[in-house]
Amino acid sequence: MPENIGFISTRFAGTDGVSLESAKWAEVLWEDEHISFWYGGILDRAAEISLCVPEAYFGHPDNEWINRQLWGHTRRTREVSTRIRDVSEYLKDTLYEFVERFDITRIVVENALTIPMHVPLGIAIIEFLMETELPTICHHHDFYWERTRFQISPIADYLEMAFPPRLPAMQHVVINQAARDELAWRKGLSSILIPNVLDFDTPSSGIDEYNADLRQELGLAEDDILVLQPTRIVPRKGIEHAITLLRMLGDSRCKLILSHGVGDEGHEYFQRILELGEDEGVDIRYIGDRVDEERHLDVRGRKIYTLEDLYPHADLVTYPSLYEGFGNAFLEAIYFRRPLMINRYSVYARDIEPKGFHLPTMDGFVDRNVVEEVRRVLNDTDYRNRMVEHNFALAREFYNYPVLRYGLQTLFSNIIHAM
């Protein structure tokens, strides 16, 4: 029977993993005639199916003040506790409004009960669910124990209560096996593993009239090698390894293209990357101001491209991340049939690599072997084509929409049988 599904998070907008994967879930649910509705502090979903509550955004001033009093401290003042309760009570009222306005019959909480970037929202969701007993799926992307900045705080009570919670009508979904093990060990909670996916049955976009001039717009020569780093510029992305790779390749045609913004972890790493590129003689082009979710012209009349415009032009994708919950850029590069140099971050080594993907692979550092493998990929067309087609076939088997559809049907069936 079709249901009205309420997606809840601090934000559904942009190209972060939560926003992207929740949209894929909604797309697959729609094929089974379920209708999705959206609750968050920042939304890019249609207004007629959404309730935008600015106070629910983790970057709202009230929540930022609360976070400044919590993380890195060992004592919680009465003022902070009162503010948390006040904001939580207000947000709980808006959750009731959301469910009543759209006649929601099932909840999907996207990461808001996983990582405590908005503690009052987590508490509000828990109390709301305890009071309503609505069947709920918690989709966990990255837990607080995986992030250093959440290790010291005076809110052990809230973390135990809500991140994540233990409720009888709740099912938990994780995106990698390590998270599944940790959730069971730390919280005694079972979970279902549903990896991130892409629609590999729908052909990817290519070079068209709009993006045909992208290389010229970026100032690249006709024979330049476009090396795409399609991630935010934050330390865990390991971009310094991409710089090392290009230095060791020693080909002045290689241009490292940084496609995303700095993210929420400061500008120091970005400046260090630019300085390192200059010291190593690597040509780095930052184009975060030229890439957005939709094509348009900016105030200066320049074309703004999407990530889908960049991939078809890429000669190589670098993904030397130190840690990833899963790895959307990995799937995207495979989907667009682009060669990819990857670091063996733990989730890749445990969950993905055993599937049999063939990639130039570094294991914590760039050595001559990975450099020579990349060089062969760039210079040997037949070898490169065999590689990308092999990887595409594997990803279509293991990370395609049918995998997600089966997982969601299992979750829905579990709740029905438990009722």
pLDDT per residue rounded down to tens, the chain (419 residues): 889 999 999 999 987 889 999 999 999 999 989 999 999 999 999 999 999 999 999 999 999 999 999 999 999 999 999 999 999 999 999 999 999 999 999 999 999 999 999 999 999 999 999 999 999 999 999 999 998 889 999 999 999 999 999 998 899 999 999 999 999 999 999 999 999 999 999 999 899 999 999 999 999 999 999 999 999 899 999 999 999 999 999 999 999 999 988 865 558 999 999 999 999 999 999 999 999 888 999 999 999 999 999 999 999 999 999 999 899 999 999 999 999 999 999 999 999 999 999 999 999 999 999 999 999 999 999 999 999 999 999 999 999 999 999 999 999 888 654 44
Cβ contacts of 220 within 8 Å, gap of 6 or more: 226, 255
Same structural domain, 100 and 242 = no
Q: Which domain holds residue 301?
A: 214-398
| CATH number of the domain to which 373 belongs | 3.40.50.2000
* Same-domain status, 152 and 269: no
Angstrom distances, CA of residue 147 to CA of 141, 267, 283: 12, 19, 32
Statement to judge: residues 362 and 250 lie in one domain: yes
Asked if residues 311 and 330 have their Cβ atoms less than 8 Å apart, the reply is no
Contact 41, 54 (CB under 8 A): yes
* Side-chain half-sphere CA neighbours of 40 within 13 A: 28
* Number of Cβ atoms within 10 Å of the Cβ of 253: 15
Q: Residue 148 has what pLDDT?
A: 87
Do 245 and 372 lie in one domain? The reply is yes
Strands (E), 164-295: 170-174, 192-193, 225-229, 254-258, 283-286
Q: Locate tokens 């997982």: which residue?
A: 407
Among 7, 10, 14, smallest CA distance to 44 is for: 14
| pTM for this model (two decimals) | 0.91
Residue 379 lies in a domain: yes
pLDDT of residue 112: 98
DSSP string across 62-78: HHHHHHHHHTT-S---H
Residue for token digits 């309760």? Answer: 85
Give strand ranges (E) for 244-355. 254-258, 283-286, 296-297, 303-304, 316-319, 340-343
- Give yes or no: residues 283 and 358 share one domain: yes
Q: Identify whether residues 18 and 161 lie together within a single domain.
A: yes
Report the SS3 class of residue 402: helix
Q: Are residues 241 and 254 in the same domain?
A: yes
Separation of alpha carbons 121 and 111, rounded Å = 11
Q: Are 224 and 191 part of one and the same domain?
A: no
- Do the domain assignments include residue 204? no
**143, 151 in Cβ contact below 8 A?**
no
Task: Confirm whether 208 is domain-assigned.
Answer: no
Q: Among 259, 10, 281, which Cα is nearest to 125's?
A: 10
Assess whether 125 and 240 both reside in one domain: no
Do 160 and 244 fall within a single domain?
A: no
Q: Are residues 128 and 241 both part of a single domain?
A: no
Under DSSP, is residue 283 helix (H, G, I), strand (E, B) or coil? strand
Number of domains forming the structure of the chain:
2
Q: Is 69 domain-assigned? A: yes
Residues 29 and 132 in one domain: yes
Rg of the Cα trace of the chain? 22
First-to-last alpha carbon distance for the chain, in angstroms, is 15
